[in-house]
Amino acid sequence: MERKSQAKPILFFFVLVSALIETSYAGDIAIYWGQNGNEGTLSDTCATGRYKYVNIGFLHTFGNGATPGLDLVGHCNPASNGCTSHSGEIKSCQNQGIKVMLSLGGAAGSYSLASQEDAKSVADYLWNNFLGGTSSSRPLGDAVLDGIDFDIEAGSGQYWDDLARSLSAYSSQGRKVYLTAAPQCPFPDTHLGTAINTGLFDYVWIQFYNNPQAQCQYASGNTKDILNSWNQWTSINAGSIFLGLPASPEAAGNGYIPPDVLTSQILPTIKSSAKYGGVMLWSKFFDNDYSAAIINS
């Protein structure tokens, strides 16, 4: 009798855990941080326990002879070495199992690659100033970031594949350099299609927003377009694919999905893909309860 009574709660526990696994569609959540001084600190962002990946954005100037420039709006001034104070925060995030990337580009940057040699030069700069190399002028201090995120939204699609190859080659030096990308949802992406085709990207978070004419995002109760676009994107050679979304209606011009629609009509469908990794959100400033709604789904 005593052994039977002990078994029942154990059995119930495993049934409950199985049910939660079966009905949760969250996957992991990636977030962008760095473009609004009112979004809280990097430490606070990681302490929420909601995010598995944090993209620090942006290195908005680089390549083609330009002096690299980091822009963390409202958080720090890299010109006075003010951003080195984030080194401890980055390490704290990593100690919690969170991967921290440096995001290149953005919608309002000044960047381009002029040649294969230029791509190699940029890769060397990134390695020495943000990754496992050494430099006397590391903008984020001595913290070693986990990888580089490609949020390339301007210029041509040339030489980004060379940058990816050059960065990936550094993984042979004892610590993996993770590569991530944030292409627009029209398939294939004009800027990053060739780079993604290298098969070197560990995580690809597709921006399913701000592309209303392309019919690849959610609009007015229509989930068909975004699901069709997702199915196209699952053909790419990448480690995991994420559904990139605005975290509030104010975060993007269009493409916002109400959380109840996301968790009941979209995530249950796309999670069947073997490549489904989770959801990417733009951005920490706009994410009040959206990520929580996903996690609790």
Q: Under 8 Å CB-to-CB from 247, ≥6 apart: which residues?
A: 281, 282, 283, 286, 287, 288, 290, 291
Phi, psi of 161 (to 5 degrees): -65, -35
- Alpha-carbon gap, residue 285 to 40, rounded angstroms: 8
Q: Render 154-198 in DSSP notation, one character per residue.
A: SS-STTHHHHHHHHHHGGGGSS--EEEE--BSSSS-TTTHHHHTT
Say if CB 1 and CB 249 are below 8 A apart.
no
DSSP bridge partners of 30: 53, 280
User: Do β-strands 110-111 and 203-207 pair in parallel, antiparallel, or remain unpaired?
Assistant: unpaired
- Does 2 qualify as catalytic in the annotation? no
Q: For residue 34, what is the DSSP state?
A: S
Question: Which helix (H) or strand (E) covers residue 95, if one does?
Answer: helix 87-95
Q: How far is 127 from 221, CA to CA, in rounded Å? A: 44
**Number of helical H runs and strand E runs in the chain:** 10, 10
Active-site residue, selected from the candidate residues 22, 39, 89, 153: 153
The residues assigned a catalytic role are 153
